[in-house]
Every structure is written in structure tokens, then in C-alpha cells.
Structure 1
Amino acid sequence: MRFVTYSEDGRTGLGVRSPAGIVATGYPDLREYLAAGDTAAAELERRLASGAPAVWPERVLSPLPERSQLICVGGNYADHLAEAGLAPTEPVYFPKVWSALLPPGEPVRMPEPTTLLDYEVELAVVIGRTARHIAAADYLDYVFGYTVVNDISARDVMNRERLQIMLCKSADGFLPIADEIVTADEVELDGNTISCTVNGELRQKATLDQMLYDIPFLLEFLTRWVTLSPGDLVTTGSPGGSAMGRGPSAYLRPGDVVTASVAGVTSVTTTVAEASW
């Protein structure tokens, strides 16, 4: 199933996409749906089987519940490590602040201090139940589904100071997210293509099996240290082809249109705009 969060009559709702439109789950967001467990899932199955009427929301929102953790993985493809000049010996994680999450359809605004705005397509995992010290073999017990994000960076910030990762990665809107979460039972992720285009030009392309650390290992390693909660997001790294590895002319400018995609999962298209503050 493909879950979306929407706004209608001033209230939020969680729904699933169907041929007829969006069918409401009866819950306001993913966190409350997951908290209801099997009861919510059974109720949704009944709604779908009975042909419940579709809703036509005013707006589709970010699919994540408010204040979910946003945890990113860096350097998980060999070609991206090469263009970055890095050689880590274990998975590298970093957080993004909540205000970095950019709802679907909103432009990413280029902060005035930066001239080197970069893109990075990433598959993201959405957690379905509390996860602590999980075993790699059991990872699917904790995964609700998948979505796609674009990990935006201000490279000139890190060029000045390598340790300044928060300002480089967490400016307002620096994590555009697709408008849906695809449940884990609906998609196989073996050799899916992950790609990014800028104004229709292919910039990044790889397959998910080129990850240095797969999703089971990433979650096992992370949850040795961090407790994950339902609705939290964990990205899985980006392949080579970012502007950092292509040169100055490849960096994003106002008016550029960036599409980040994972075959069989979803995509997110974002327009770059000038700063509004």
C-alpha cells in the first residue's frame, strides 16, 4: 500500500492511494495508525474491501508524523566516497533537524550565504515499531515502508569547515521528501535503480545493491546506539554524481528542477528558488 498524509478542512488525515483516489484510514497521522497496531490494519482492510469512498484532500503533506527523527547515512556508495575523498571504515550517521524536512510540492529555497547547493538522491526507511538492539536478520519486523528523499547540502559551508555538518545539511527545507510511503511488503529492493535528474539531465544513477552497507546492517548498527520510534526516518546514502564530484557548473541554481527517484518505490520533484528571508 501507498500511505499519504493530507490536509482537509483544517485537519490532517492518513490515507492510502487506491484506483479511485485516497481512502481515509480514520487516523490523523502515521504515528497514531501504527500505535493502533493490528486494529488499525484490520479496519483499513475492511474500508478497502467495502469500497469506502475516496477523499479529495486540499493538500498532500509530508508523510511523516510530526517531530520524527531524521537520521541520514553518508558515504554508502563507493563512487560517492571517491568523489568526496573519504574512506570511512564503518557506517556514518548524522541527524537533520525537523525544519529541514520539505513537504511535497514546496520549493527548496537557496540560502543567501551559499553558492554551492548540491543534491543527493536517497532511499529512506520508515520505522514501524520501536527498535533497539535489533538483529539484522529481523530488520523487516521493524520496517513499515520506504520513501525517497533528496539530501540537499550547502557544500561551501563544509568547504570552509569540515565539521560544520549541521549548517551544511540542515538549513530549512534541505530534505525534500516524496508524498508517499510504500509499505515494505509491496516492493522488492534487490537491484532497483536509484537516480537523480536536474532539468531532465541524468546526474546520478546506480542500483541499490551497490550500497556498501545494506539496510539490515545499517539498522542493526544504528540501534546499538539509538532507539528508533514508529515514524522515524533513516536514509541509506547516495551514489556518485553529485555536483561536488562534477564541478562548479553542476551546482543548483534558482529555477532548477530536481527529481530524485527509486524504481518501484516513488520519486520527489523539487524546484530550487531564491531565499525568501
Structure 2
Amino acid sequence: MKIVRFRRGDDVGVAVRDGSGGIHPTGYRDLRELLAAADPLGILRRSLEGPAVMADRLLAPLADRCQIVSTGGNYQSHLAEVGLAPQEPVFFPKLWSAVLDPDSVLEPPRPESELDYEVELAVVIGRTMHRVSAAEALDYVFGYTVVNDVSAREVMRREPLQIMLCKSADGFLPVSEEIVTADEIDLDTTVVTCDVNGQRRQEAGVAEMITSVPRLLAFLSQYVTLTPGDVVTTGTPGGSLVGRPGLGYLTPGDVVTVAATGIRPATTTIGSGLWQVSA
């Protein structure tokens, strides 16, 4: 099933999308509330039997103020282009304020920002997860979406320890308009891609990850308790601009589309970054 979050007038809610694109409200305003219910999947199935509504706007489908954990260096092709060789999975937090709704304009924090794209499959947690094994990790997954882990490369070149500002500026996590439940995603055949202005820049199978999704979640859960609605992004393959300096960084008007098999793409337009400063 495909879960969306929508705005209709003054109302915001979680809905399930049918095969024709119709939006069927669940009666819940936030994903975390839905996941706290006794039978979330049953609620979604029953919601499909109800009437569809017209939405004014589709929003990022993530739980409000959820915990977002990002993974660095999980594809050999990306490690080769950045010259790193971590000995274990590497994680960093992504701030909620970085989340950007589908089909939005991303305004760089500064006009001279050197923006880079990174397509990543994102895991949405469905049950509280603490110190679980890799064998049971996928039992805790509610679904998957696709995100663009945007970076301002000049920030870390100026100060290598400044990962939060490099990765978590406002709008630096464009998200697909939908979460697809785990039963509909085959990690062995899922492919992630990134296109800029219609040209393919990144493409890789999720099976190429150095640390698989279940092993990644198990490792993280030894240190961090993940709760329903939390998100773990799983790393990006090679092809980002940090490893292709001849292409130049993203510029105003560029259209970036990240996609994963079975999940609607997330498309973002790069803005000018020319903010109006009030007196």
C-alpha cells in the first residue's frame, strides 16, 4: 500500500492511495498516530474501502518531528569517489527542518552554496526497535520511501567537522510524496536513481550496499532506540558531484529527481538562494 500525507483546506491528514491515484483518508493526522494504533495495516486496508477526496497539496509523508538518521559511505562506488574507507557503518543525524515537501523549490542557504545531490532509499520504522538482530530487523520496518540527501560541499571543505550545516540546512531532505509498505518492496531488486535536468547521474541496486538494510538497522539499534515513524536513510551510490568536479555543482533552475523502484520519485527545483532580509 502507498501512504501519503495531504492538505485539504485547513485539514492535514494521512491517507492511502489506490491504484488509480485516489486519496482515501485514514482519519489520522500524523503517521506516528497511525502507527500507534492496534492494527495500522488493517486501518489502511479499510480506508481504501472509504470515499476518495481531492487534496490541495501532497506533503512529505513522514511523521511530524520524527528522528532522522542518515548513513554515510554505504556503497563502494561512492567511497571510491570521496576517498574514504570506513571500517563500520557511519551515521549522522538529519534535522527535521531539512525535510522538504514534494515538488518544492530548494532555496540554498547562500547564493554561493555548492549543492550536491545524493539519492537514498529511506526506511520508515514501524515498531520500537532496540538491540535487535539482523535476522529480525526487517520485522520492524513499516515501509520505504526515497529521499535526496542534499549537501553543501563548501561547508565541509571550509570546516571538515561541520557536518550538520553541510547536511541539515533547511530543505536539504526532499522526500517522495509516498511511503510504500514493506510488503511491496523487494530489496534484492530495488534500484535507486538520480537525474538532473533529465540526465542520469546516479544508478545502483540496493543489493550493492556494503552493509545491507537489515544489518544496518541491527547495528544502529545497538546504540539508538528507533521508534515508530523514525527514518533511516541508507547511503548513496557513486555519481554525486563531489566525485565529478567537471560537471559543476547544482545551479538555480536545475531540476533534480530521485527515484527508487516501486516508489514515486521526488522532484526538486533549485532556487536562487537570494533571500530578502527584512529590516
Query: Per-residue deviation at 1:37?
Result: 2.4
Tell me, in whole angstroms, the C-alpha distance in 2 between the residues paired with 1:20 and 1:178.
15
Alignment partner, residue 26 of structure 1: 27
**1:113 offset after TM fit, Å?**
5.7
Identity %: 57
Are 1:6 and 2:6 matched, yes or no? yes
**Contact 1:116/1:248, CA 8 A, preserved across alignment:** no
Aligned to 2:130, the other structure's residue is in SS state coil
Change (3 A) 1:130 1:255: same
Secondary structure at the residue paired with 2:142? strand
The letter of the residue matching 1:8 is R
Give the 3 Å change call, closer, same or farther, for CA 276–4 of structure 1 in structure 2. Answer: farther
Give the direction of change, closer, same or farther, for the CA distance of 1:140–1:113 in structure 2 (3 Å limit): same
Match of 1:151 in 2: 149
**Closer/same/farther in 2, CA of residues 47 and 178 from structure 1, 3 Å limit:** closer
Letter in 1 for 2:41: A
1:229 matched residue in structure 2:
227
Q: Which runs of 5+ in 1 are unaligned?
A: none
**Residue matched to 1:46:** 46
Question: Is the contact between residue 255 and residue 270 of structure 2 (CA under 8 Å) also seen in structure 1?
Answer: yes
1:272 correspondence with 2:236: no
The corresponding residue for 1:73 is: 71
For the residues of structure 2 that align with 1:122 and 1:237, how far apart are their CA atoms?
6
Q: Distance in 1 between matches of 2:197 and 2:67?
A: 31
Match of 1:218 in 2: 216
The residue that corresponds to 1:82 in the other structure is 80
Counterparts of 2:79 and 2:112 in 1: how far apart (Å)?
23
Q: Alignment partner for residue 248 of structure 2, among 245, 250, 269?
A: 250
Counterparts of 1:114 and 1:149, CA distance in 2: 23
User: 1:135-156: per-residue Cα shift (whole Å, max 9, x none)?
Assistant: 1111122100000000100111
Aligned pair in 2 of structure 1 residues 77, 36: CA closer, same or farther (>3 Å)?
same
Instruction: Point out where structure 2 has 5 or more consecutive residues left out of the alignment.
Output: none
TM-aligned CA deviation for residue 189 of structure 1? 1.5
Secondary structure of the structure 2 residue equivalent to 1:107: strand
Return the offset for 1:267: 1.4
Supply the distance in 1 between the matched residues of 2:248 and 2:134 (Cα, whole angstroms). 38
Secondary structure (helix, strand or coil) at the match of 1:145 reads: strand
The answer to whether the Cα contact below 8 Å between 1:126 and 1:232 also exists between their aligned partners in 2 is yes
Query: What's the TM-score, normalizing by structure 2?
Result: 0.95
Deviation at 1:103, TM superposition (A): 1.1
Q: RMSD between aligned alpha carbons?
A: 1.3
Shift of 1:276: 4.8
Letter of the structure 1 residue corresponding to residue 28 of structure 2 = Y
State the aligned residue count: 274
SS of corresponding position for 2:104 = coil
The answer for the alignment partner of 1:199 in structure 2 is 197
Is the contact made by 1:158 and 1:164 (CA closer than 8 Å) also made in structure 2?
yes
- Paired residues for 1:93-104 under 5 Å: 93-104=91-102
Q: Is the 8 A contact 1:198 1:256 kept in 2?
A: yes
Distance across 2 between alignment mates of 1:20 and 1:262: 18
CA distance in structure 1 between the aligned counterparts of 2:274 and 2:12, rounded to whole angstroms: 26
Tell me which amino acid in the other structure corresponds to 1:247. P
Q: Distance in 2 between matches of 1:20 and 1:106?
A: 20
How far, CA to CA, are the matches of 2:274 and 2:55 in structure 1? 27
